Amino acid sequence: MSGRMSNGATGRPLVALLDGRDCTVEMPILKDVATVAFCDAQSTHEIHEKVLNEAVAALMWHSITLEREDLEKFKALRVVVRIGTGTDNIDVKAATDLGIAVCNTPGDCVEEVADTTVSLILNMYRKTFWLAKAVSEGKKVSGVEQVRELASGSTRIRDDTLGIIGLGRVGTAVAMRAKAFGFKICFFDPHLPEGVDRSLGIERCYNLDDILFKSDCITLHCPLTDETRHMINDMTIKQMRPGAFIVNTSRGGLIQESALGESLKSGHIKAAALDVHEHEPFDPLAMGPLSAVPNIIHTPHCSWYSDASCKELRLSAAREVRRAIVGRCPHDLTNCVNKEALLAGHTRRPTSSTSLAPNVSSSFNPLMPSFGTSIADGFNGLPVGGNLPSFPYSNPLLAMGNPLLNPLMMNPSTAALASFANAAANSPHSGPAAALSTLAAASSAMTTSAAPVARQSPAVQVAHSPKANNSSRTTVSPAVRPASSPDGPAEVKDGTPPAQQTASQHHLTSASLSAASPCKSPGASSLPKVPTISVDSLASVVPEESATTPVKLDAE
């Protein structure tokens, strides 16, 4: 699967936030290349039909699940970005079969999850949670006997063994923090190479039974797969030390909750702390295997959250969607979990190699090679793709295979440009002298034919031609970052407010480029009219201001 995504022949691609309503972080990154809508749904039954039919990209948190039957409801979907690390709420195999790229944001909340894990461990060892709860409920503690009674079971940390199952980003961060508190650290992770234990100064266990037997406290930091589901069950709990602790800030399905509940009631497991549960959202009032268990701490799947990490996660997800729109999907995606399978063609749904958003003028990227263009399709007869022969030089300024990188593209003399292109086409491998001679001739023509330029700002220059009936032609300085940068919209640092900058950039890519050139070569075609952005396809449900405001789309 390659190419860019499109939402039809003329409209912007539609991007939907499935299970949320706040798009304030995502809009600055996506507003110039896509229409953004939010659904605030908990299942696909609550998603608007327009999203199901037209959305080419979806953002989602952990509160909605996409199984095969859910994914099949989306008719145009090409990429799903999970805001967070885990993709266990997405049927990745089905998505691959349907030609849908699945992405995540794996590196943005490592510190928060590690800090929360250590916090829960300390709470269980020092009984902080239960002591605070007793005081808040009115328990008066005035003497040493009452302190002893209330704090009985508090445990010293030093020299206890913390077993970490899964030594990835979070597992490693937990190990480094726990060592500072005096824990001995051991870990089990069959996917890591030899020597990791020595580099970190911790002990390695080579099977699950070994780490369960050695550890005074177990913390889980592995993904939920068919192999890891219910890895903590009746049999494995019996192999743990009596009075051990269990912490889970990874995935609820790793623990068989019925087995954990029985072991907590019997005292074999001294205490447990769970930020994730088999069924979420967790209801403490519902009758389940963990109800009426006093020695357990429940938190609502929030170990990942801080104000900083939440913003970072959303920025990473929005940038991944932008890469899918202005780049090639899945080639240019940085965190696509099924990229290799998609590139290998393991999909049933026909895929397209055309542009993702060919009609969104603000997504034009001059640094991205175009494909399938010819001399007749280019600017004033000049190609914008790779069909011209290239000079055998390492200097990219002379590489006509991508003339958009060539400084002659700033030449107002289209005759000089045409001359240079014709010379390159007729003698593609002539010597350096001939090439430099042609370049010198073109530069000379540029010098003699260019109109005086009145410099207005470091970024934007306006040139007036007496032959253009006082019409102005605007050019962008090479110092300005292209508006289609995968990392976000360009910024014109001339004091223009952001909203006006966006409008200005759109003007530069449409009206300005269609202005008449002061010098035209005979027979040269006029500049192509860059199509303007249209959201007419959303007129019935999307207001006109949706270019800068997320749209709420409810199920009908």
What DSSP string describes 459-490?
A: SEEEEE-GGGTT-EEEEE-TTSPPTT-TTS--
Residue 9 lies in a domain: yes
Residue 285: pLDDT band (50, 70, 90) is: confident
C-beta separation of 57 from 324 below 8 A: yes
Q: CA-to-CA distance for 490 and 17, rounded, in angstroms?
A: 24
Buried b (16+ CB within 10 A) or exposed e, 63-84: ebebeeebbeebebbbbbbbbb
Residue 117 lies in a domain: yes
Residue 176 lies in a domain: yes
Average pLDDT (263-282) is 95
Within 10 Å of residue 173's Cβ, how many Cβ atoms? 19
* Least confident window among 20-29, 253-262, 476-485: 476-485
Extract the tokens encoding 293. Answer: 């268990």
**Residue 313 shares a structural domain with residue 261:** no
- Residues tagged active-site: 251, 280, 301
CA 18 from chain center: how many Å? 15
Residue 524 lies in a domain: no
Give the H/E segment covering residue 101.
strand 101-103
Instruction: Give the domain-ending residue among 249, 278, 298.
Output: 298
CATH at residue 342: 3.40.50.720
**Residue 342 shares a structural domain with residue 456:** no
Q: What is the pLDDT of residue 11?
A: 76
Q: CA-to-CA distance for 22 and 529, rounded, in angstroms?
A: 36
DSSP-assigned beta bridge partners for residue 66: 90
CA 343 from chain center: how many Å? 19
**Residue 411 shares a structural domain with residue 273:** no
Query: What does pTM read for this prediction?
Result: 0.65
CA 221 from chain center: how many Å? 22
**Residue 262 shares a structural domain with residue 139:** yes
**Residue 319 shares a structural domain with residue 446:** no
Average pLDDT (489-507) is 43
Extract the tokens encoding 168. Answer: 């990835």
**Residue 125 shares a structural domain with residue 253:** yes
| Tally of domains in the chain | 3
Q: What is the pLDDT of residue 431?
A: 54
Residue 528 lies in a domain: no
Q: What is the pLDDT of residue 13?
A: 96
Residue 520 lies in a domain: no
Average pLDDT (90-110) is 96
Residue 21 CB contacts under 8 Å (≥ 6 apart), including other chains: 38, 40, 552
**Residue 39 shares a structural domain with residue 59:** yes
**Residue 411 shares a structural domain with residue 493:** yes
**Residue 413 shares a structural domain with residue 478:** yes
80: containing domain: 1-108+305-360+533-556
Amino acid at 338: N
Query: 93 pLDDT exceeds 50?
Result: yes
Percent of the chain with pLDDT over 70: 61
Residue 519 lies in a domain: no
Place of tokens 């997800």: 317
**Residue 385 shares a structural domain with residue 250:** no
Amino acid at 122: L
Instruction: Give the domain-ending residue among 298, 317, 340.
Output: 298
What pLDDT digit, counting tens, does each position of 362-399 carry? 443 433 333 333 333 333 333 444 343 433 434 444 44
Instruction: Give the domain-ending residue among 280, 298, 316.
Output: 298
**Residue 80 shares a structural domain with residue 130:** no
C-beta separation of 17 from 26 below 8 A: yes
**Residue 276 shares a structural domain with residue 386:** no
Residue 525 lies in a domain: no
